[in-house]
Structure 1
């Protein structure tokens, strides 16, 4: 659906050009929710603005729907932007217009719809985002979550194939963020709209996305399914973002396992295995004791997972490790270096 090839973009700085994007290659499949994550200054917002050509690349090519659009101008550019809805961090609603008026605005700009047709379309959109009873209110009368729902309805007004969400939940509290992400997933599922979700929060990626690309200093440093990237980060930038999602920063004293006289391993259970007593069974079969040093249990979208750092000791540690792997558990042997720990429900056992 969206393909970026060799994208570069620089901006003027006090000491010359500053590279915002440096050789970006990225593909977003039709109908998926794709996350783009990175710390402040990584190039996320520049990247998303290149997709609908609010910014022009210095080099490289932009493709949308299989069509090269890098040099689109005039009517072709307007048609492209109508096919790509945009949801903003700070809502960008028109304060002098009602909720219904805000949603109607892009339809009015096209000049292609009559008054009755616009009214029917607006009513359907407000019903979809759960704001039918607020149609006559003004933005100042709404909560942050309601404002963002108006923004989503407005972005859907012209029936786009793509929805770009630039930090769409960062101004919201956690509960409201969850509700907005659920709405985006429902829209993706019901309408087949491709969603590109830009954020600096790993938890947003975990809850909403199918795949994710990690940006660092204008480059894609890691990309893949969210389950793999979240549970097994390979790049330092990804590891940092995963750790920041945890209340304790994801820290773990790597010496704790050796202090207990055991072998430190990281165990990852996904899907049905996350709810089975595999560790206890394997420990009994191999006469092994285990101490849980840190862990987390949760969901990545609908997929349950559990991940623990444990210290294994006893008669047949090697046999236990082999048995865990044979049972479908991902086992990573840990050295002396700190390991990524991301806890949603922390359990530090002494």
Structure 2
């Protein structure tokens, strides 16, 4: 069931010389209970996009729907009720320095004006326990680490029991280890409370670790969307490829074409789940009498799913048969170059007619 839907969203900002377009033609659907990532480089429009969901920014055109209701034009009491349903976690925490940790978490409950002191105290205690800060309730923000401050921010965002949690670059001010612990906490919240979470980031590793689906935004437009596995392993847009290269410094300066200087058949092999743990290439080499060289590769996890992706060149007795056998066994195989034609076709899936053409 859909939780958030944006239809034909545009957003422009007035400038001295007229106006500048920040978003154009945005259509986006986020299902209930998902952890959905929106990723883009600096200035791509991702923060503007997320602020439209709770109407911290209002669209110039198009409509915003939350939990089946059109909320584009709500004002006053309706707007306050909407924002109680949508918690927000900020990059720089936005904690009140003169308030204790407990008082920061209690603040939105006090503003709501519908809870008594005993209920506020009980809810704050539960939230601090959930984020692991029970022992820090009486401390002030200046006494906390960055990760602890962000956990306070998450607890505060959950205070009014929202159905949606927006995280705008919530981990970009944190070190890598703390980032992972905060992402793990968000996954626990999603699993235990069923909260739909939208994560805005410029870091592909954040998306890979935490999200179910992702949208890539570039120059104010959504250029690619899908499951994290599909987008991460089979990127289609130059903006996505650029973000992936930033996340993999060892491959940042490689040739744009993985076939440059390669001999033999060149293919990209993608293994997921149990196949990623098996000696697939070694078995292929023995069975078909082929030699292979790994031109590039990456191994890791997408959430809890292991994956391995290699670009390889093959030569020897029967490289085409070896690739066809891998495909028949459920391995994702893409032919990148054929020695006969010398042509390259990056990202082209292997099929039997194409194999016949290659040989």
* TM-score interval (norm. to shorter): over 0.9
Specify whether residues 128 and 255 from structure 1 end up closer, same or farther in structure 2 by C-alpha distance, changes over 3 A only.
closer
- State which drifts further: 245-254 or 128-137: 245-254
Match of 1:266 in 2: 268
Query: 1:208, CA displacement in angstroms?
Result: 0.3
Specify whether residues 266 and 256 from structure 1 end up closer, same or farther in structure 2 by C-alpha distance, changes over 3 A only.
closer
Q: Is the 8 A contact 1:254 1:338 kept in 2?
A: no
C-alpha separation in 1, matches of 2:15 and 2:70: 30
| Number of aligned residue pairs | 340
Match of 2:294 in 1: 292
Q: Is the 8 A contact 2:88 2:157 kept in 1?
A: yes
Q: Is the 8 A contact 1:4 1:63 kept in 2?
A: yes
Specify whether residues 337 and 237 from structure 1 end up closer, same or farther in structure 2 by C-alpha distance, changes over 3 A only.
farther
Match of 2:313 in 1: 311
Match of 2:24 in 1: 22
1:226-265 counterparts in 2 under 5 A?
A: 226-253=228-255, 259=261, 261-265=263-267
Specify whether residues 70 and 257 from structure 1 end up closer, same or farther in structure 2 by C-alpha distance, changes over 3 A only.
closer
Query: 1:323, CA displacement in angstroms?
Result: 0.9
Of 206, 214, 218, the residue aligned with 1:212 is 214
Q: Does 1:64 find its partner at 2:69?
A: no
Q: Is the 8 A contact 2:335 2:345 kept in 1?
A: no
Query: 1:258, CA displacement in angstroms?
Result: 6.4
Match of 2:189 in 1: 187
C-alpha separation in 2, matches of 1:14 and 1:249: 42
Query: 1:262, CA displacement in angstroms?
Result: 2.1
Query: 1:60, CA displacement in angstroms?
Result: 0.4
Q: Is the 8 A contact 1:278 1:327 kept in 2?
A: no
Match of 2:227 in 1: 225
Match of 1:147 in 2: 149
Unaligned runs of 5+ in 2: 338-342, 348-359
Q: Is the 8 A contact 1:21 1:217 kept in 2?
A: yes
Query: 1:253, CA displacement in angstroms?
Result: 3.9
C-alpha separation in 2, matches of 1:273 and 1:90: 41
C-alpha separation in 1, matches of 2:254 and 2:196: 38
Of 320, 323, 329, the residue aligned with 1:321 is 323
C-alpha separation in 2, matches of 1:13 and 1:248: 41
Of 72, 75, 82, the residue aligned with 1:73 is 75
C-alpha separation in 2, matches of 1:178 and 1:337: 39
Specify whether residues 256 and 79 from structure 1 end up closer, same or farther in structure 2 by C-alpha distance, changes over 3 A only.
closer
Root-mean-square deviation (Å): 1.6
Of 198, 201, 216, the residue aligned with 2:200 is 198
Query: 1:16, CA displacement in angstroms?
Result: 2.3
C-alpha separation in 2, matches of 1:339 and 1:87: 40
Match of 1:117 in 2: 119
Match of 1:131 in 2: 133
C-alpha separation in 2, matches of 1:129 and 1:27: 29
- State which drifts further: 275-284 or 246-255: 246-255
